Structure 1
Amino acid sequence: MGSTPVSRTEQRRRTQDRILVAARKLFAEHGYDRTTIRAIAAEAKADPGLVMRYFESKEKLFARIAVVDRQEALGGSPEQVAELLLAALGAKVTAEPAGALAVVRSMFTHPESAKEVREAMLAEQHQAADAISGEDADLRTALIGALTLGTVIGRYLLGLDGLRDASPEKITALLRQPFHSILHGDPEPDPSERPQ
């Protein structure tokens, strides 16, 4: 009994997956500047031409690994969007996102990679803003993105006391109310402006 032949589409998907795994590993280990397309291809056991064909450039490949692919599209009520974003944050603080951290480190030293990552993050932000609507939806989703990025950097790059060793459940529990408040657009009034 022979094995079932693999379609070209499936072969392509498998090759792309191998390239993404190799890129995450090498960018995390060596940073953006010292990681080459040839090294990624060798790690993935793929032709360097395929890396360029599938991802176009090193910058675009770098951006692709910077943004975690969402299992679910962002949509629904602000409550549902908040919970999806909290789940994504929970995943990031459960297991160290080595590829994403390499991206963050490299963004500060390589402007082209930062441009591609920014575009990928903006696309995700706009998707969330479209889901929650409102005139300041872009600001609210940007604040959620900043909280998420700050939490990941504080936990893994800075090793902030408390945050470094906190359970993912505790982190998301403490951020649940702020995420919901921001996505609902319910700002707290300035205490100095409250009537005495």
Structure 2
Amino acid sequence: MPDTRRSGAETRERILAVAREHFARQGYDRTTIRAIAAEAQIDPSMVMRYFGNKEELFKVAASIDLALPDLTTAAPGEAGRVMAAHFVRTWDAEGTLMALLRRAASDPQAAEQMRGIFASQVAAAVAPLCHDPTEAPRRAALVATQLLGVALGRYVLRLPPIVEMTPDEIVTWVAPTIDRYLTADPAHLPQK
């Protein structure tokens, strides 16, 4: 007799894999439960059984582990480069993250999910670099503005100059700003 828990888990993962691909390729609005079910070779009711509705499926599919690098191992002055390079690779490889970014621009729930991903994961990566741990959320938010801005310009708005840049060029331009956000001593920043 087959292990139904195992086959159920496999079905759920197959649905998620197909959903991630559809959301990344077509965006949220053009992706349908029927298309996901057809590619996963299951009945659409199975998608609903596992995820309830398209919104919940998207929420689970877009739960992304950014797999951020340990910035404490970066050479002095290189943390920004390490972070920027990681994100450029992630944006280029992770279509679901792009689908979430596109949707977050106009959907409050998707925006909240994107904020949660960046607030928790980026802040956790930034915190060990902070002399004052209370600075981590602010520094992480500043880093996120740079990284999300690059992604928006390159992949959503498709601004020609940034689209034409190589990943290494983007890292070279953005890394110093990110490094400043990560490591600048607030006492040495311009005051009002």
Question: What is the TM-score of this pair, normalised by structure 1?
Answer: 0.70
Given the alignment of the two structures, is residue 25 of structure 1 paired with residue 40 of structure 2, yes or no? no
Q: Structure 2 CA distance, aligned partners of 1:185 and 1:51?
A: 48
- CA shift in 2, pair 1:27/1:88, >3 Å: same
Q: Structure 1 CA distance, aligned partners of 2:27 and 2:118?
A: 20
From 109, 114, 117, the counterpart of 1:112: 109
Superposition pairs of residues 61-80 of structure 1, within 5 angstroms = 61-66=57-62, 68-71=64-67, 74-75=69-70, 77=72, 79=74
1:39 partner letter: A
Q: Deviations over 1:125-184 (max 9, x none)?
A: 332243334221111111111111110111122222321111101111222222222111
Between Structure 1 and Structure 2, the one with more helix by share is 2
1:87 is aligned to 85
More off after superposition, 134-143 vs 34-43: 34-43
Alignment partner of 1:164: what SS? helix
- CA shift in 2, pair 1:117/1:53, >3 Å: farther
Q: Structure 2 CA distance, aligned partners of 1:61 and 1:84?
A: 32
Q: Structure 2 CA distance, aligned partners of 1:22 and 1:131?
A: 36
Q: Structure 2 CA distance, aligned partners of 1:161 and 1:131?
A: 36
* Count of residues in Structure 1 that have an aligned counterpart in Structure 2: 185
- 2:66·2:121 contact (CA, 8 Å) conserved in 1? no
More off after superposition, 81-90 vs 54-63: 54-63
Q: Structure 1 CA distance, aligned partners of 2:85 and 2:4?
A: 34
More off after superposition, 79-88 vs 103-112: 79-88
More off after superposition, 32-41 vs 159-168: 32-41
1:19 partner letter: I
Alignment partner of 1:163: what SS? helix
Question: What is the TM-score of this pair, normalised by structure 2?
Answer: 0.71
1:137 partner letter: A
Gaps of 5+ in 1: none
Q: Structure 2 CA distance, aligned partners of 1:123 and 1:64?
A: 17
1:163 partner letter: I
Alignment partner of 2:162: what SS? coil
Gaps of 5+ in 2: none
- 1:41·1:47 contact (CA, 8 Å) conserved in 2? yes
Q: Indicate the RMSD between aligned Cα atoms, in angstroms.
A: 3.6
Q: Deviations over 1:107-134 (max 9, x none)?
A: 2343333333332332223322433342
Alignment partner of 2:117: what SS? helix
